[in-house]
Structure 1
């Protein structure tokens, strides 16, 4: 039509493009316009600001000034908002000068923008000076400053401004309270309730926005009854209020109620949005309900939200957590046009959790190639994958990337590095990372202690307490649980009692994780009375509590009590899990209750819907083997739904050794060596089988073959706690401070045994075993009336077992040995294991 140069029409077209087709299309038109006025510049500048393209907005502002155009209040407002978003205080001050120069400093919109700028840029003095020019009753400026302080997480300053506002006689409105209620997540429920009381006192009208903020506040503190009560105070509902209610119910694991609220929402005629479906899918992930998640997935497809980033992220998380396969999550990922950092992190974490760590590493590289930079959660997730693989090469590779990107300043990432190095056995490197951290928290030290525990380095784990105290970091319930576990691993009763005292003083004895660790500690130290007291102090014992108690009774030889405790567990309404049945099978195996053990095993799946795992089959083989039912045990191995590992074959080989079945034992040894040819325990079991069967030549040949192949058994070690000191003993030891007195005592004991006709025979290796050295040291060091407590890192050998039984008959002392599986209480020539 030839009217493209009409400025009025061009400006209207520019506004149309900016609102309907996006900022890129609008910018093309703007660049082609031959004439531009203040309206043109303001339209394109505000379009960039609305689309969060703040750098481009400020560049346009400079171009406008360079073109000679004078900005108006709307131009200046958009420019100030971009300065606030970028924290550009210098540019903001220049614009403020322009505002004053143009005589617009009394404009309420610009004043509000300036207050927002100065507050977000830590210039609260300047912002407060601007408030001094506010007309009485101008709540907008006050609320803007409060809002800016809340957004920049300056909670105390926001409260101070709120108090000054009240003192100035300016009363809050619904928007003020919405902003203040946003802080309740950080300042506590009491603060939120106080604000709720104040808005009632001021007679603030409860519109749907304010109602949503109050509901959200109560939901975050698990006060769903109050949240629902507030939502019902007025009849107005919108999609945001319904979504807040559904999200609150989901976060509190009230999934049934969340689904019911979703149905009510639809019946009321309000259409759910993407956040509604994301909340419902998150609730499915929380309770691991794949069936419910798939139903919501179908609804998502019906309403066309499958490609939405928030819904897509929730779907990936749901499928990764609820499904045994990763294909569905991968398919959802491919359907998202622009995956964000949450999408990538959820996918990486999911593959790692499913055991595909290598895929996680590939995805991490693909994410970077796609231009998405990892955040602290992504980095901690990928380091978790390194830790699961025990891959030091991957850990060091990603550590290098973290240093390069300066992400090691983040405590979450640094803690994940500590965990990865400690999990890979590089404790020194983990300590080095800790030393380089600016700040440390309980998670830092808990990660290190728990990893040291997993690797059996309990003494080093307890040393972490000293470093933690020197650093001024207080123990929490998780670190206490790790330290109690370390004390249990060492069997150090005194250290454990000191930690128990700290638990009581700090109030952590009310936490189930700590209470469960106390039960474990006292059980491992052989003090079932203390373990029982710790168990009875638990308000609501869960499956972990019961399992720890039952296991403690079984390992201490109280088999009938352990089985009785299982009955009590069922009567208490606590569902047994796979660990429970592993413990029961162990108890029956070591208690000689073989048929009962079989009944428990068969009831797992039939009665309790607990699928047996490989460990359960290994325990069943042990039970049948101890009963002498070797052929039946062999049939179990051949028919079980898992591929047998070396442990299963070794278990039956040990049973063959006990019952003298050489042909089957040789077959088991052959199968073991095919799977693990470098395990010296297989050679020693086979050699002992030959010895017991009177084939000592074959036994000697087997040991010689082991030595020729350069294989050595890890030396058996024992340790004792005497007067808060740990004394360590190993076979053939010569380094203990009083080793000469220990050897003298042993020679005297052996002479007494021989004189009384006990037929003592020297061990095969002609050396004193660690158990013997510990017994002699105990007789020299432990008070006469006290039992001698010895801890061992592996099973007690038959030679030492017989030796200690005879010693108790000669010296009249009780000796308690905790080996790798159970307690042996020796007294008057008898052992609590009764040969089982």
Structure 2
């Protein structure tokens, strides 16, 4: 009986075991089927696996694990993986690979650490996935440790792992190590070569990438379509001919024109505006898809070919390809570029019909379009509010739009709301907000954002670093700007261009030129924009020697064809009194613009060639160039200097009647100056009282100076009172009024006015002059003759020259109070220390006084020396005792 029970039990057990075995095999077969046919049915296999305790079947669990991962059920896969026992290298690898593909790099590396701790030996595919996670995190330190494990496990030289490591080192900025690693690989295959070529392209080593391709062909490794995709990317930067050679290689080698390769070809040809070639690739044999069509559309958009872009877009739809979010984004980008609100609204309607209105990418493009094309920001806010999940680009686009619409304060509030919503601003967002702070002139907000950048460790990013430097420099925080420059991890031409531009705006020209030293120390070459700023600084300082060096540099660097560089050179030579050099620069400009014409007219006018300046203006009009508001400022100033009253009035009238240019306050200031010089003070007063614009302090100052010149006390007092009501702390009104009282025989009122100025704590603007000697700028300020040591330094030299003038028999005696004016000091310093052949160029921040003018004039009669002094109003060229200004009161417009 007992033996029968045992036999029956054994039979039942064997039968159950066979059934379970059959079940396991059946499950494996079903899972295998599900992987290729129906993943949903396969998910139901997990239940009997758990129910019958089959989790110890490694093959079955691995198949189930693969199924979960292929259906993107990474959470279920990880749960199954944690329940599995045992786990082989396949199980570890597929989960790590899944984390890497889903960009959960930290989880991938964490699981790899557990794998190594478990004693499981990784495969080449494990290492490849782990290294790709290191690439995603840009974690070179962890990647180097993985590289050590690769060597220990004997995979050194493996082409799959070697390709991944090459990618890691290159993307982490270690291109040298990447090259050495690639060279050490034993069996370099197509993937290895392509990866190295890709690394060089991403590192912007485009020529090296093409050379490596040449080596690849020489050693007999065949490129594939992905190799050529990378090479076409390099050719986009090298030139059209390089890309054509790559295209011919594709044809010769018989590489099938799949969609990926065709898209790259279309993109390449569109970058060089080769419409026919792009369409030829599109219509060539092989498959087409929406991405290929979108690439053609994007190419036309990039080249602002609106008709072709829209035509291709419609043809794409007619061919049965439904435009996707990238296609619509490209068309909306076109609308933004050409400022076509109507077309943008039509595209918006089409997007709603195809159900793309909730797509974030398209929504971002819509916000950008409405911000750029519409006069109101309301429509953009409407699109933004309708977006289900706006991302950082959405918020950034809205903020930048508000800045461009002038709603600078609103964009700061939007930034706070963005952070509150849990969206982290990126460097573009913060760069835009810094631009808003600069326009608001809010240093407090700039400092707050700087603090935020430091806390987030993004202050070293180039784009936001440049914006920070620009914001500080714009707000006169020079030391902060320099500090921000030095703390930025990387600097480029834009960094230093911002500095030189802002320093020029602040009048800190010497500081602007000092930027050149720092730029060269960083190994950054000047570009046309930065060199324009440096030449402008040289012009304002009168640093002719430095300006000439910059001129030579621009010629050698090929910047001579840049109109902006030529215009700055024209301005410099005009301001330094080298009229022939200025004319030569102008004549060499292939296609001058209105700035070029303004430059040559200004150079002629400021150097006393008034009739030539007016003739240049007529030539400008005859050649079809329309003058702008700056042109008329120059013309009105020329008429004032040349005492051409009626012509000045005609030019002013022609602004609105002929050229449709509305006069600004500066034009009225010059008009008042012209009338004031001609003693037509009632007319000048009438202009101020009847003009549409609100008068400023400068216009009353100009009239007051005219009153002083013509001795009109009553009107002068009235102008002084009105000017002081607008600018009560401007010392110029007190000085001019006191001078008027002196010249009208009322010394007690003059002294009372000066006393009142002293009581208010107002001081006269310091007179400063600069002169360049041997490439160095030397600055001088006016000093009182009673407080200086006359026997030492430059002052002794001035006294010595005055004695020589007396011996020469000149009637010049000199004003004791003007003995050590800054202009005299600068001229004498240049006379003593500059080489005998070098002309002297002095720049003075105020109008040259009569005493200094006579002193310099007589000095050039004693010695054969050309001396140029540019004061606040014009250029004085002294030679053989004569001056280009003929020693007349030049203008009533104060600088």
1:364-391 superposed Cα distances (whole Å, 9 cap, x missing partner): 3322222222222233333333444454
CA contact 1:41–1:75 (8 Å) conserved in 2: no
CA deviation vs aligned residue, 1:368-423 (integer Å, no higher than 9, x gap): 22222222223333333344445433333222222221113323333333333333
Aligned match of 2:487 in 413, 433, 436? 436
Moved more, 195-204 or 167-176: 167-176
Question: Which residue does the alignment assign to 1:23?
Answer: none
1:737 corresponds to which residue? 793
2: CA distance between counterparts of 1:668 and 1:306? Answer: 63
Query: Which one of the candidate residues 484, 488, 492 is aligned to 2:535?
Result: 484
Q: Deviations over 1:91-114 (max 9, x none)?
A: 569599577899xx9xxxxx9998
Pairwise mapping of residues 158-557 of structure 1 onto structure 2 (< 5 A)?
166=217, 171-185=222-236, 189-224=240-275, 226-228=277-279, 230-231=281-282, 233=284, 239-255=290-306, 257-259=308-310, 261-262=312-313, 271-286=322-337, 289-290=338-339, 292-304=340-352, 307-321=358-372, 326-557=377-608
Match of 1:645? 696
Q: 2:300 touches 2:308 (CA, 8 Å); kept in 1? A: yes
User: How far 1:528 moved relative to its partner?
Assistant: 1.5
1:746·1:776 contact (CA, 8 Å) conserved in 2?
no
Q: Give SS of 1:557's match.
A: coil
Determine whether 1:832 maps to 2:832. Answer: no
Q: Distance in 1 between matches of 2:299 and 2:711?
A: 64
1:457 Cα deviation from its structure 2 partner: 1.8
State whether residues 285 and 322 of structure 1, in contact with CA within 8 Å, keep that contact through their aligned partners in structure 2.
yes
Structure 1 residue aligned with 2:872: 820
Encode CA deviations 1:152-191: one digit per residue, 9 max, x unaligned: 7697897688667756766445455335434444565554
Alignment partner, residue 4 of structure 1 = none
Larger deviation: 122-131 or 722-731?
122-131
| Matched-pair contact (CA < 8 Å) for 2:767–2:822 | yes
CA distance in 2, matches of 1:612, 1:235: 63
Does the CA contact (< 8 Å) of 1:383 and 1:395 recur in 2? yes
Helix, strand or coil for the counterpart of 1:738? helix
* CA–CA separation in structure 2 for the residues paired with 1:360 and 1:437: 25
Larger of the two Rg values belongs to structure: 2
- Distance change (3 Å), C-alpha of 1:279 and 1:569: farther
Classify 1:744/1:677 alpha carbon distance in 2 versus 1 (closer, same or farther; 3 Å).
same
Contact 2:640/2:648, CA 8 A, preserved across alignment = yes
| 8 Å CA contact 1:383, 1:420 repeated in 2 | yes
Given that residues 58 and 82 in structure 1 are in contact (C-alpha distance below 8 angstroms), is that contact kept between their aligned partners in structure 2? no
Contact 1:488 1:522 in 2 (8 A): yes
Residues 173 and 789 of structure 1, relative CA distance in 2, 3 Å threshold: closer
Partners of 1:397 and 1:560 in 2: CA distance = 55
1:81–1:117 Cα contact (<8 Å) kept:
no
- SS state at 1:409 partner: coil
Helix, strand or coil: the match of 1:204?
A: coil
Structure 1 gaps, min length 5: 1-6, 21-25, 50-56, 106-110
Which among 68, 77, 80 is matched to residue 97 of structure 2? 80
Q: 473-482 or 569-578: which moved more?
A: 569-578
Conservation of the 8 A alpha-carbon contact between 2:538 and 2:547? yes
Distance 2:46 2:540 in 1: 74
Once the two structures are superposed, residues 126-172 of structure 1 have per-residue CA deviations (whole angstroms, 9 ceiling, x without a partner) of 999999598xxxx7x67985798589769789768866775676644
How far has the Cα of 1:490 moved from its partner?
0.8
User: SS of the counterpart of 1:408?
Assistant: coil
Q: 2:81 aligns with which of 40, 47, 64?
A: 64
Deviation at 1:256, TM superposition (A): 5.2
Structure 2: unaligned runs, 5 residues or longer: 1-26, 56-60, 130-157, 170-177, 891-895
Correspondence list, 1:598-637, <5 A: 598-604=649-655, 607-637=658-688
Change (3 A) 1:335 1:698: farther
Distance 1:125 1:691, change over 3 A: closer
Contact 2:577 2:877 (C-alpha < 8 Å) held by counterparts: no
Distance 2:563 2:831 in 1: 39
Shift of 1:216: 0.9
- Compute the displacement of 1:525 (Å): 0.9
Alpha-carbon separation, structure 2, partners of 1:361 and 1:752: 70
| CA contact 2:124–2:160 (8 Å) conserved in 1 | no
Q: CA deviation at 1:42?
A: 4.5
Comparing 743-752 and 667-676, the one that deviates more? 743-752
DSSP 3-state at the match of 2:793: coil
- Seen in structure 2, the aligned counterparts of structure 1 residues 390 and 90 have a Cα distance that, compared at 3 Å, is same
Q: TM-score, normalised by structure 1?
A: 0.80
- 1:199 deviates by 0.9
Report Cα offsets for 1:503-557 as digits up to 9, x if no partner: 2233332333322221122111111111122222222223333332232222222
Shift of 1:677: 1.8
Distance 2:704 2:31 in 1: 89
Which residue of 584, 589, 598 maps to 2:635?
Answer: 584
The CA distance in 1 between the partners of 2:543 and 2:444, in whole Å, is 36
Q: Note closer, same or farther for the CA distance 1:681–1:389 as it changes in structure 2 (3 Å cut).
A: farther
Distance 1:566 1:479 in 2: 29
Check whether the contact 1:38–1:72 (CA below 8 A) recurs between aligned residues.
no
Comparing 84-93 and 706-715, the one that deviates more = 84-93
Q: Distance in 1 between matches of 2:693 and 2:780?
A: 39
What secondary structure, in the 3-state scheme, does the structure 2 residue paired with 1:644 have? coil
8 Å CA contact retained: 1:357, 1:385: yes
Q: How does 1:81-96 map to 2 (within 5 A)?
A: 81-83=98-100, 85=103, 86=105, 88=108, 91=111
Measured in 2, the distance between the counterparts of 1:19 and 1:587 equals 85
Of 729, 732, 751, which residue of structure 2 is paired with 1:678?
729
Distance 1:192 1:402, change over 3 A: same
- The answer to whether the Cα contact below 8 Å between 2:197 and 2:212 also exists between their aligned partners in 1 is no
Q: What's the TM-score once normalised by structure 2's chain length? A: 0.75
Structure 1 residues 349 and 587: CA distance shift in structure 2, 3 A? farther
Query: Is residue 732–residue 768 contact of structure 1 (8 Å, CA) maintained in 2?
Result: yes
Whether the 8 Å contact between 1:83 and 1:91 is mirrored in structure 2 is: no
Is the contact made by 1:89 and 1:121 (CA closer than 8 Å) also made in structure 2? no
Q: Which residue of 1 aligns with 2:133?
A: none
The CA deviation string for residues 291-328 of structure 1, in whole angstroms up to 9 with x for no partner, is x2343234313532555433443344445455665445
- Distance in 1, Cα, partners of 2:596 & 2:288: 45
> Counterpart of 1:794?
846
* Alignment deviations for residues 187-217 of structure 1 (CA, whole Å, 9 cap, x no partner): 6555433321211222334455433311211
Look up the SS of the partner of 2:497 in the other structure.
helix
Cα distance change, pair 589–90 in 1 and its aligned pair in 2 (3 A):
same
- Once the two structures are superposed, residues 332-359 of structure 1 have per-residue CA deviations (whole angstroms, 9 ceiling, x without a partner) of 4434333322333333334334544433
**Aligned pairs, number:** 797
Return closer, same or farther for 1:112/1:772 CA change in 2, 3 Å cut-off.
closer
Aligned to 2:13: none
Bigger Cα displacement from structure 2, 816-825 vs 521-530: 816-825
